[in-house]
Structure 1
Amino acid sequence: MNGHYRNILCVLSDTHHQDNVVKQAVHIAKSHQASLTLMLALESLPPNASIVMASFTALDSQQSMEAQANDWLVKHADKWSQKYPVKTHLCIGNPLIDIVRYVQKDGCDLVIKKAEDSFLDRLFGSLDMRLLRKCPCPVWVLDPNHEGKYKNVVAAVDLNYHYPEHEIALRKKLNLEILYHASKIALLEFSQLHIVHIFDSVPENIRRDGFISVDDNHMETDLAKIHAEREQALEVLLGELEAKLAPDVMDYLKPNVHIVHGYPRREIAATTQSLATDVIVMGTLARLGVPGYIMGGTAEETIQQLNCAVVGLKPEGFVSPITLEDES
């Protein structure tokens, strides 16, 4: 079965202990029958290098850095290519800009990268977060300690459609893309697919902050109505997914649905952890349709709490603030 991705870029941020990262990237590329490029993206020497040493020495150092990095990449690519054909690309400059511009030029449909910081600290490195914000294609941030296949795949969807009409349409399309990406991963990995939606009620938020009191009976009635509303929205979404997939695929997937009442900024990560999730597919924009308003609120807080791999998707029409213009 062919996968969803066709042209994958795996980013290496340094030359230390990259075998497991490349192993995971090769596994994903092989599963999707996709081309794979390994990019070594390094920071250039600081601008004040010529101040602390003679300019010709700084130039020699930059050239030496490039030569050594290229030698390392070619040598290791020969070894990695024995498992799966890979192309290589070396960038020394501004990694974020170099990565995004390569994606735009080469038409990459997935970027894979190891999480910079320890998952034990539950923090993503700054380059990871900036790629999730600004890269025009999906970004798959790997758990460097993961081994083997993905057993549990989570699709985190937002079924709250109480927004302006133009934004509702974008949210629905993004939810469908999240489900589609997660379904493809689950199929190729022979994994269990979980669909997670966390809902909270505005009155409960207000009550939690202690501003007003709310009748518990009314609250329970409201929560029941919201739960039913979200179940109905998901039923429609699953019908659209079934139409997009090959016949009988949904019968094979048999997704487990988790519609959970709670505070989304806590419960998405908590539910994911309780499901022993290997990878979560989620949207990485806050308010859709609001230019420049990205990676805030629930998305960013959730990502910082996760201890699994993340595939971050952008909504239809997203345009990266990084362009190919004014290249030096």
Structure 2
Amino acid sequence: MKGHFSNILCVLNDTHEQDEIIEQAIHIAKSHQAKLTLALALEALPPNANIVMESFSYIDSEQSMQSSARQWLEDKQQQWSADYPIKTELCIGQPLLDVVSLVGERDIDLLVKLSDDDFMDRLFGSDDIRLLRKCPCPVWILHRGNSRKYKKVVAALDLNYHYPEHEISVRKALNMDLLRTASQIALLEFAELHIVHVFDAVPDTIVRSGFISVDNDRMEHDLSKIHDERQQELDRLLAQLESELDTGVMDYLQPQRHIVHGYPRREIAATTRSLGADVLVMGTVARLGVPGFVMGGTAEDTIQQIDCALVGIKPRGFVSPLLPKPGS
């Protein structure tokens, strides 16, 4: 089966112990039968370095860094290309801008990188957050020690369509893209597919505060209606997915549903952890239909609480604020 992605960019920000991330990137590229480009993206030397240190020769050191980095990249390309064909790129300057520009120029449809921080209490560094906010293609963030073979894939869907009319179609399309991506990963990895949706009526913190009164019977009735509403929308999405797959694939996939009442910023991550997920697929933009809008609070809070890989996907029509506007 041909995979969901066709042109993958793997980004390295240093040369230290990179074999694991490259092996995983090659595994993903093989699974999807995709082209793979490896980019070493380094910060340029500060322009005033020769002023700060008298012994520092800026031009010589800049040239030396470029030469050494290029040689390292060439040596590693020979080593890694023995298993799978890899192209390479060296970017020295501003890594975030350079990487996003490369994504736009090369028509990349998936960016893979290692998390900037391996501490369990802060799994995603600032550059990861910026890429999840501003990179125009899906971003797949890995952690050291992740198994190459995933056993459980979770798709976090927002099935709440109580938004302005112009946003609803975008949200539905994003949910479908999340479901397609997660199902492709699950099929190619022979993994379980779990679908998580967390809905929140009146937040528990507000109810407990005592500032509003709630009729418990009426509230239970409302929650039941919301649950049924979200269940019906998930039925529709899965029926659409089944129509796109070959006969019998959905019976093999057997996605498991988890419609949970709670606070999304807490329960998406909690449910993902309780399932023992290897990778979470979720949307990473707040107000949809607004080109280039920054990542929402629910997404940002969630990714700081998970201990698995993440595939962050933006809605169709997303415009990266780091890329030139079309026609400019």
TM-score range, shorter chain: over 0.9
Cα distance in 2 for residues equivalent to 1:145 and 1:56: 38
Q: List per-residue Cα deviations over 1:238-271 (Å, max 9, x = no partner).
A: 1111122223221110000000111100000000
Give the aligned partner of residue 181 of structure 2: 181
Cα distance in 2 for residues equivalent to 1:205 and 1:176: 32
SS of equivalent to 1:68: helix
Give the aligned partner of residue 254 of structure 1: 254
Superposition deviation, residue 297 in structure 1: 1.2
Query: Which letter maps to 2:252?
Result: Y
Superposition deviation, residue 162 in structure 1: 0.3
Query: Which letter maps to 2:247?
Result: P
Give the aligned partner of residue 76 of structure 1: 76
Give the aligned partner of residue 275 of structure 2: 275
Distance 1:242 1:12, change over 3 A: same
Q: TM-score normalized by structure 1?
A: 0.95
**RMSD, matched Cα:** 1.6
Superposition deviation, residue 56 in structure 1: 8.9
SS of equivalent to 2:193: strand
Superposition deviation, residue 294 in structure 1: 1.7
Cα distance in 2 for residues equivalent to 1:178 and 1:119: 27
Residues 153, 191 of structure 1: 8 Å contact kept: yes
Moved more, 84-93 or 244-253: 244-253
Within 5 Å, give how 1:59-138 maps onto structure 2.
59-138=59-138
Residues 101, 324 of structure 1: 8 Å contact kept: no
Query: Which letter maps to 1:118?
Result: D
Residues 292, 318 of structure 2: 8 Å contact kept: no
| Identity within the alignment, % | 64
Residues 7, 35 of structure 2: 8 Å contact kept: yes
Give the aligned partner of residue 192 of structure 2: 192
Residues 203, 214 of structure 1: 8 Å contact kept: no
Query: Which letter maps to 2:206?
Result: I
Moved more, 299-308 or 122-131: 122-131
Cα distance in 2 for residues equivalent to 1:147 and 1:284: 24
Moved more, 182-191 or 119-128: 119-128
SS of equivalent to 1:202: coil
Give the aligned partner of residue 17 of structure 1: 17
Distance 1:289 1:210, change over 3 A: farther
Within 5 Å, give how 1:161-176 maps onto structure 2.
161-176=161-176
Superposition deviation, residue 291 in structure 1: 4.4
Superposition deviation, residue 148 in structure 1: 2.9
Unpaired runs of 5+ residues, structure 1, are none
Give the aligned partner of residue 300 of structure 1: 300
Cα distance in 1 for residues equivalent to 2:74 and 2:190: 34
Q: List per-residue Cα deviations over 1:104-125 (Å, max 9, x = no partner).
A: 1111100000001115123311
Query: Which letter maps to 1:290?
Result: V
Superposition deviation, residue 211 in structure 1: 1.7
Cα distance in 2 for residues equivalent to 1:292 and 1:72: 35
Cα distance in 2 for residues equivalent to 1:27 and 1:208: 48
Query: Which letter maps to 1:238?
Result: L
Q: List per-residue Cα deviations over 1:62-94 (Å, max 9, x = no partner).
A: 010111111111111111111111111100000
Unpaired runs of 5+ residues, structure 2, are none
Cα distance in 2 for residues equivalent to 1:140 and 1:33: 17
Residues 292, 319 of structure 2: 8 Å contact kept: no
Distance 1:172 1:208, change over 3 A: farther
Give the aligned partner of residue 26 of structure 2: 26
Distance 1:216 1:79, change over 3 A: same
SS of equivalent to 2:10: strand
Cα distance in 2 for residues equivalent to 1:307 and 1:282: 14
Distance 1:95 1:208, change over 3 A: farther
Moved more, 10-19 or 315-324: 315-324
Q: List per-residue Cα deviations over 1:163-195 (Å, max 9, x = no partner).
A: 011101000000000000000000000000000
Q: TM-score normalized by structure 2?
A: 0.95
Give the aligned partner of residue 49 of structure 1: 49
> How many positions carry a matched residue from both structures?
325
Residues 115, 142 of structure 1: 8 Å contact kept: yes
Give the aligned partner of residue 155 of structure 2: 155
Cα distance in 2 for residues equivalent to 1:81 and 1:203: 52
